[in-house]
Structure 1
């Protein structure tokens, strides 16, 4: 405390300005990581929404127990995520033929969710359909 009076204890203006400058440099260095984290979080939210939607479609097809239910699941559908961005779900067609008198078949259901030609999620499931054949005619 040499050179200062008892009432002048504390930080000088120069020390405060230097501390603020150093904190500003650190904040600027952390900013890109913060922006990338927010972007990544938003993308993962979209992927989670797409995955939930694909699983819901598979469950609806399982509850339908029919070739029509599987065909409806494979049809192209559009959904919106929490940020208001649209994504589509669809699956390739594979044969499921209703055949009365047949015990049933296990049908493969493969669905994909895409957004702007980017694959968000894929789901594969086997669904038992009573009274159906997986391929061919009855």
Structure 2
């Protein structure tokens, strides 16, 4: 058997494994950061969906009492079990004008604002 037909030696395999381990260790922080960012964006998406649902609820029944009910503080839980609280403010109900400003905010349990929205609701 000739020297170039023997295959890889144990030393060559160990060096290759060591280099692969170095690359894996170098990529771990990026992977971890990606997982954290994905989790945060999931919470933002849930908060945004909830605020959009509240605006649609306000537009479905555009009365002053319903707008006040939509703005009352509510709590939802996202898929990861995090608590998200929504609250809002309602502008003055129409006497002469027919529109009301509705501002909604969603915050997580640590107080970080995840999403905000403002809508103008037509009250017939």
TM-score normalised by length of structure 2: 0.92
Q: 1:27-66 residue pairs with structure 2 within 5 A?
A: 27-66=24-63
Q: Root-mean-square deviation (CA), in Å?
A: 1.8
* Corresponding residue of 1:110: 103
Question: How many residues get paired?
Answer: 123
Structure 1 or 2: more helix by fraction? 2
Mapped partners of 2:34, 2:12: distance in 1: 33
Runs of 4+ in 1 over 4 A off after TM superposition: none
Mapped partners of 2:104, 2:9: distance in 1: 66
Asked whether 1:82 is paired with 2:75, we answer: no
TM-score normalised by length of structure 1: 0.83
CA offset digits 1:16-69 (Å, max 9, x no partner): 000000000110000000000001000000100100010000000000120111
- Which structure is larger by alpha-carbon Rg, 1 or 2? 1
Query: Which structure 2 segments of 5+ residues have no match?
Result: none
Mapped partners of 1:128, 1:92: distance in 2: 16
